[in-house]
Amino acid sequence: MKKKRIKILIAISFFLLCFSLPALAAEDIMPLADVKAGMTGYGKTVFKGTKIEKFPIEVISIMNDRSLDQDLILIKLTGKEVEEYGGIAAGMSGSPIYINDRLIGAIGYGWSNSDHRYGLVTPIERMLKLIDSDRLNSQTNVGQRPAEVNDFAPEENFIKTTTPLMVSGLSGRALKQLKSRLTNYKLDVIPSPGIEESDKSNARPRPGEAIAVQLVRGDISIASIGTLTYIDKDNILAFGHPFTNRGKVSYLLSRAKINAVIPSTEQPFKLGSPYNRLLGSITEDRGAGIAGKIDTYPRITPLYVAVYEDGKLIKEVSLQIINDEHLFDSLANTAALQAVDSALDRIGPGSAHSKLKIMGRGLPELQVESDNMYYSQNDIGSMALTDFSQLLNLILTNPYKEINLIDIRLELDFSKKDSVALVQEAKVLNDQIHPGDELEVEVKLHKYRDGIEKKIVKLKIPEDIEPGMATLFIDGGYTGETNRSQLPEELPENNSNGDGLKEAKIAGHKTFESMLEAYLDSADNNDLILQLYPAYSAPPAYEESSAESPTERFKNQKEDPKSKDEQQAKNELEQETAADNAAEQEIKERFTTDYVLEGNLNLNLEIIQPDADTVNSTATEAETAQSSDNLKQPEDKKETALERDSNQDTEKENNESK
């Protein structure tokens, strides 16, 4: 019996050893409790090319923060390598540190404008939690930070050993825009040589190797360079501090090549380039570092930008961007701006026509298309990206549903011509206007330094329009439709339930499809817009002959909650129906022109009801015509009528005789 108990205890111990410390199977670790000041060891990193080199370290102190389980290890780098390269450099984040060949953690933090030989190590025990499946299942979603990150902010006292964001293919204001958009992530944006194509290594990655977390790849590259800390089968750990700190993420992972370590008084940094061949993906980005999977790849969105000038293709840019709705907008807009600037090689006036096609799961029929025309006297390049930026932002930030982007294609055709005009004059050509007529309007467009162009447009007037004075608005699409003063609507009485809770509804869009339709249906900059606002009729007065007065009806509804709810639902339905009918009855037309149109005009006109005399005269003529037709009946029909009268008289006499 005793031997049986011993066997059971051994089996349990083996089980706990295998499943509670999976790291032991990959690499021997030293618990933080065993790390003491004065111990010496070494670290691994790449200083140039892809060769992993060792550098000596000494443990100075353990910085305890046991209440938050956020202890850090203070170390000092020694040796000729450190003297040569100036100490801890940006890009060394994640460099594994060993004592007695046992892993204690990764370089994660340091100080700027100080002795760069000193740094802080994130214990490996904290980093291993990133690949603990139980912990990952309990973590928050993308964009939400775990409590430990909020509670612990080491950057208040010292800075993380930055992972420089290496950028190639961006320059000028596009590079400046990227830095501005990524300010919240505290990333150092550094121009780099570009993507390395010749990654011929088929070996598994090793701790100490330089790695790249890629956000954009292709003709433009945006990637962060750091160091691999730990690998166990297909799981990897790196950096020793957060990259974007977004929790669950989906970034691209590859090896990197280090070109050189650049000295700096603030902090030296590694200048490197990502390799084109991918290793896998980064799936976790939290306080202790980043974690990922080898041979598992994230979703990406292709972006194609074609730039033309007067119909001739002058630049094509093809990219792959990580499918992260919080970063995609910034990355895509920066890339598009760079494509335009490098193609035009100028910032100045001109006109442009844009065509945009976005494909994605969740979009109507899986895609949307939009085109528009632009003009600017100062910067046509950035102006032409307005539709691209606005529509992309609407899709990514809409509050109703997640859209998984599949593909984006943007075509821009630029011209140095001043394709812009002012809506200068307008006049109605009709002598009189009646319900059902076609309103004919002559509009004069003053083209920029190119004379006047007349345009005659027509607007159909409904048969049931209210006679009287009406206002016609003529707008240029670029100026936008003039804000109309609406008649004030009566505010509905607040409804309350038995608990006294108020109910309210916000006016506006209720679905993503409604938002998208409203945007796509808005006027283009080169549209000429005609909209007629007829006279409003007075609301019908209350009739005393009604079987029930409004006061009595209200009392009855108040006494009967069910009736009140039914009436409320009926009223809401009637209001929605009235709004839909108003939209359908909108008297409006848009006409496409060859110019970006500015300015707006309005003129008053009268819808004339046909005269009563004319109506009576018409009716009299109709009656006379009908009588004439009756007199012109055929002879055989007249004889038949006489015979019928004679027969009736004979029958009457017979009845009297009887």
Is residue 199 located within the same domain as residue 255? yes
Q: List pLDDT tens digits, range 557-594.
A: 445 555 556 666 666 555 555 445 544 568 999 999 99
Confidence grade of residue 92 (pLDDT, cut at 50, 70, 90): very high
pLDDT at 349 over 60: yes
pLDDT at 135 over 50: no
Give the residue with greater pLDDT, 130 vs 164: 130
* CB atoms inside a 10 Å sphere around CB 597: 29
Residue 141 lies in a domain: yes
Is residue 335 located within the same domain as residue 280? no
Q: What is the mean pLDDT of residues 632-650?
A: 44
Domain termination site, one of 380, 396, 415: 415
pLDDT of the residue at 138: 41
Is residue 348 located within the same domain as residue 379? yes
- Whole-angstrom Cα distance, residue 524 to residue 370? 10
CATH of residue 265's domain is 2.40.10.10
- Whole-angstrom Cα distance, residue 188 to residue 182? 9
Average pLDDT, the chain: 79
Is residue 608 located within the same domain as residue 471? yes
Q: In degrees, to the nearest 5, what angle opens at C-alpha 612 toward C-alphas 606 and 616?
A: 145
Contacts 24+ apart (CB under 8 A), 607-615: 607/433, 607/434, 607/435, 607/461, 607/465, 607/466, 607/467, 607/468, 607/469, 607/470, 607/534, 607/535, 608/432, 608/433, 608/434, 608/467, 609/434, 609/435, 609/467, 610/434
Confidence grade of residue 508 (pLDDT, cut at 50, 70, 90): confident
Is residue 403 located within the same domain as residue 424? no
Domain range for residue 325?
301-415
Q: What is the mean pLDDT of residues 611-619?
A: 51
pLDDT of the residue at 577: 52
Is residue 306 located within the same domain as residue 329? yes
User: Are the CB atoms for 302 and 408 separated by under 8 Å?
Assistant: yes
Is residue 390 located within the same domain as residue 426? no
What is the DSSP secondary-structure string of 252-302? Answer: EEEEEEEEEEEP-SS--EEEEEEEEEEEEEEEEEETTEEEEEET----EEE
**Token reading at 272:** 């490197």
Backbone angles phi, psi at 151, to 5 degrees: -75, -25
pLDDT at 210 over 70: yes
Number of domains in the chain: 3
Confidence grade of residue 142 (pLDDT, cut at 50, 70, 90): very low
Which amino acid is residue 244, in one-letter code? T
Give the residue with greater pLDDT, 349 vs 131: 349
Q: What is the mean pLDDT of residues 390-400?
A: 94
Q: List pLDDT tens digits, range 453-502.
A: 999 999 999 999 989 999 999 999 998 654 333 333 333 344 434 444 44
- Whole-angstrom Cα distance, residue 358 to residue 381? 21
Is residue 113 located within the same domain as residue 102? yes
Is residue 323 located within the same domain as residue 433? no
Domain termination site, one of 362, 384, 415: 415
Q: What is the mean pLDDT of residues 26-51?
A: 92
Q: What is the mean pLDDT of residues 375-383?
A: 96
Residue 316 lies in a domain: yes
Residue 475 lies in a domain: yes
User: Are the CB atoms for 56 and 79 separated by under 8 Å?
Assistant: yes
Give the residue with greater pLDDT, 283 vs 3: 283
**Token reading at 577:** 């129906």
pLDDT of the residue at 565: 61
**Token reading at 289:** 């570092």
Does residue 18 sit in helix, strand or coil? helix
Give the residue with greater pLDDT, 442 vs 509: 442
Residue 441 lies in a domain: yes
Give the residue with greater pLDDT, 98 vs 534: 98
pLDDT at 643 over 70: no
- Percent of the chain exceeding pLDDT 90 equals 59
pLDDT at 38 over 60: yes
Checking phi first, is residue 652 left (phi over 0); if not, alpha (psi -120 to 50) or beta? alpha
Give the residue with greater pLDDT, 20 vs 190: 190
pLDDT of the residue at 524: 95
Q: List pLDDT tens digits, range 430-448.
A: 999 999 999 999 999 999 9
Residue 499 lies in a domain: no
Q: Which DSSP helix (H) or strand (E) runs through 405?
A: strand 404-415
Q: List pLDDT tens digits, range 303-341.
A: 999 999 999 999 999 999 999 988 999 999 999 999 999
- Whole-angstrom Cα distance, residue 228 to residue 43? 12
* CB atoms inside a 10 Å sphere around CB 245: 17
Give the residue with greater pLDDT, 287 vs 544: 287
Q: What torsion do the CA atoms of 216, 185, 258, 129 make, to the nearest 10 degrees?
A: -100
Backbone CA torsion sign across 433, 435, 440, 441: positive
Residue 567 lies in a domain: no
Q: What is the end-to-end Cα distance of the chain in Å, rounded?
A: 135
**Token reading at 280:** 């896998």
Residue 182 lies in a domain: yes
**Which of 89-98, 146-155, 578-587, 643-652 is least confident?**
146-155
159-160 and 102-110 as β-strands: parallel, antiparallel, unpaired?
A: antiparallel
Q: What is the mean pLDDT of residues 104-123?
A: 87
pLDDT of the residue at 85: 78
Is residue 285 located within the same domain as residue 305? no
pLDDT of the residue at 64: 82
Is residue 425 located within the same domain as residue 406? no
pLDDT of the residue at 82: 78
- Percent of the chain exceeding pLDDT 70 equals 71
What does each C-alpha distance from 653 to 1, 125, 442, 529, 649 come to in angstroms? 136, 127, 78, 80, 6
- Whole-angstrom Cα distance, residue 297 to residue 234? 12
- Whole-angstrom Cα distance, residue 125 to residue 71? 10
What does each C-alpha distance from 12 to 9, 94, 209, 254 come to in angstroms? 5, 34, 37, 39
pLDDT of the residue at 193: 83
* CB atoms inside a 10 Å sphere around CB 298: 20
350-361 and 367-376 as β-strands: parallel, antiparallel, unpaired?
A: antiparallel
Confidence grade of residue 354 (pLDDT, cut at 50, 70, 90): very high
- Whole-angstrom Cα distance, residue 533 to residue 430? 17
pLDDT at 29 over 70: yes
pLDDT of the residue at 69: 57
Identify the top-confidence range among 143-147, 200-204, 509-513, 618-622: 509-513
Model's pTM, two decimal places? 0.75
Residue 497 lies in a domain: no
Is residue 479 located within the same domain as residue 358? no
Integer-rounded Cα radius of gyration of the chain:
39
Domain termination site, one of 371, 391, 415: 415
**Token reading at 194:** 């570009």
pLDDT at 636 over 80: no
**Token reading at 346:** 């100028």
pLDDT of the residue at 74: 94
Which amino acid is residue 209, in one-letter code? E
